[in-house]
Amino acid sequence: ELKDMLYAHKKQSVLVVLQGMDTAGKSGTIRNVFADTTPLGMEVKAFKAPSKNELARDYLWRVHNAVPKKGNVGIFDRSHYEDVLVVKVRGFASPEDVERRYEQINAFEKHMTE
């Protein structure tokens, strides 16, 4: 009922982010939690390894493009947090670049709530 009101009024959106390791149950959680929800206005985005096109852009570009439209519920199976975790753990970025990404993600999330 609340999702239907959200869809009808189109003033706000909801974003659910599921972040976890492989086999953590993200897809199963999405299926179980939203099983009784009508698919109208639902957008599920599974983030895999970035494509060549995505790698040629800012790392937040693909996430920004997947943010749900007003009135919709978006569900991220993995997210932009992966873009900090992987580069930090695998040493693909300097500590300064990782810190910069933390700041960029905080600014991005703040922008989404305004």
pLDDT digits (tens, 9 = 90+) for 45-91: 999 989 999 999 999 999 999 999 999 999 999 999 999 998 899 99
Query: Which structure tokens are listed for 73?
Result: 């519920």
Q: Are 73 and 43 in contact (CB under 8 A)?
A: yes
**pTM of the shown model:** 0.86
Q: How far is 114 from 100, CA to CA, in rounded Å?
A: 21
Any idea which fold 2-113 has?
Rossmann fold (3.40.50)
d(CA 114, CA 67): 14
